[in-house]
Chain A
Amino acid sequence: MFGLSADLIDVRRVFTHVEEIHHEFGPVAEAPLVRGAIAAVLRNPYAGQYQTNIVPMMEALNPLGVQLAQQLCQAMGVAPDAIQGYGKGAIVGAAGELEHGALWHVPGGYAMRELLGWKGDRAAYTAGQGGVSSGQPGNALSIVPSTKKVGPPGAALDVPLTHINASYVRSHFDAIEVRVPGAPRADEIVLILAMSTGARVHARVGGLAAQDISQWNGLR
């Protein structure tokens, strides 16, 4: 599906970044924390002009979201059920607007959530209406935290990470710096998904712990 295309989705480059953190000057982790990010560099079809209706691209990005989520898991060498934290982001090239980066919220977020076991009603969420349920309704209940910016080639974006089932889990508040040397060019966008397999390597500032999640509302 990647390659030259007259379609809205025209991917030039795919960049993956996977890190294993063994320690940060404290006790060495038994299994290293694995954090990863995948960035697709694609043509911004709305660059260089103000266009009122940009929503068609949001829908067109869905397959890319699914593919990037799967490829990131593969690059991290873990199964989807090993993922405990996630985030997403976008860097828009100089001829675009911040709003173009916002096109990634729905296709990026829900692709990753569905891969990780989310069972909600995607159409309702796309329309901006959340769902309410009791018990643990699948996984990936939390909103996917995000950052976006307009930037030059090689711009760095700090992509936030939070626990996939409860945003308030303090041990999993984290961020991963993502930067693609040479991208985005002025007429490009870099779309990013990020995942991690656990808490910060020496997490010890209290707060809600992952094993104490009880409300299953994506928050606590």
Chain B
Amino acid sequence: MPGWVVWPPKTSANGMDCAETALENNMTAQIRKIVVQVDELLQEGGKAVTPPTRRALAMAVIANPYAARFSDNLDELIAIGEELGGLLGARCVKALGIKPADAHSYGKAAIVGEAGELEHAAALLHPKLGAPLRMAVSKGAALVPSAKKQGTLGTAIDVPLGHKDAAFVRSHFDAMEARISDAPRANEILVAVVVTDSGRPHPRVGGLQVHEIVGQDGLR
């Protein structure tokens, strides 16, 4: 029977464990909402998927500190990216009910509201988001695939996915659609992280296999 065990199991009334609450209370990011989705696929093409593939998506909607002004320095967003890498990575792993080492693939994305620049997404995603995300999934030798765009309320972005330890694993090339109906407002940014415990449901187009991963260079 599917059904995810909340992990770790210690939770408070609002579903967050104490360490998480402390982390979130001390954050620089001004978070309006957090959305977590789990997509569990039990059969595809008329054939059972055993075990089912599961992909978790965690999104945060934050205020953009640089909305409607040009700033050469984007340090605040770089710091927020670091916070969100850990927070959203942990939320995904928790929603899947797995140990960090059992994560297979990951990806990240951001949608910048109209009063911001594409470069704001880059500041969030690239300099510092990766390291804490890798902690949340353990290891993570491979590049974290990413996508970014400018958008408005309800804009969808396809978060690209790749195996966390070897980017060439073909069975794990995938994407998960991320979208929040009321975000991002003009002065907000939507930040998304996806973690899976599996590849595509019935991979059969060859390429590097999971059991062939060396895991040193992040590619093979």
Contact = CB atoms under 8 A, between A and B. Distances in A.
B15 A13 contact: no
Contacts of B40: 13-15
A33 to B, nearest CB: 9
Contact of B37 (A17, A22, A34, A71): A17
Contact of A3 (B14, B36, B42, B176): B42
A214 interface: no
Interface in A68-84: 70-71, 74-78, 82
A1 to B, nearest CB: 6
Interface in A157-190: 177, 179-181
Interface stretch (B27-35, B98-106, B121-129): B27-35
A66 B157 CA distance: 33
B43 A77 contact: no
How large, as a class, is the contact surface on chain A?
35 or more
Contacts of B15: 18, 20, 34, 76-78
Contact of A15 (B6, B39, B181): B39
Interface in B1-19: 1-6, 11, 13-16
B131 interface: no
Nearest to A77: B15
Contacts of A156: 181
A44 to B, nearest CB: 15
B6 to A, nearest CB: 6
B72 interface: no
Contacts of A179: 179
The prevalent SS among residues of B at the interface is strand
Given A74-B4, A74-B6, A15 B38 contact: yes
A32 B33 CA distance: 9
Contacts of B4: 71, 74-75
A205 to B, nearest CB: 18
Contact of B34 (A3, A13, A20, A197): A20
Interface string A1-19: 1111000000111111111
A18 B42 contact: no
Nearest to B55: A15
B177 A22 contact: no
B35 A19 contact: yes
Given A20-B33, A75-B38, A78-B13, A3 B3 contact: no
Interface string B159-186: 0000000000000000011010100000
Contacts of B35: 17-20
A2 B42 contact: yes
A70 B3 CA distance: 9
Please list the 4 inter-chain residue pairs (A to B) with the smallest Cβ-Cβ separation, ordered nearest first: A77-B15, A181-B177, A177-B181, A19-B35
Interface of A: 1-4, 11-25, 31-32, 34, 67, 70-71, 74-78, 82, 156, 177, 179-181, 197
25 contacts: A1-B1, A3-B43, A3-B48, A13-B43, A14-B38, A14-B40, A14-B42, A16-B37, A16-B38, A16-B95, A20-B34, A20-B35, A21-B33, A22-B33, A22-B34, A23-B32, A32-B14, A34-B15, A71-B4, A75-B36, A76-B15, A77-B11, A156-B181, A181-B176, A197-B14
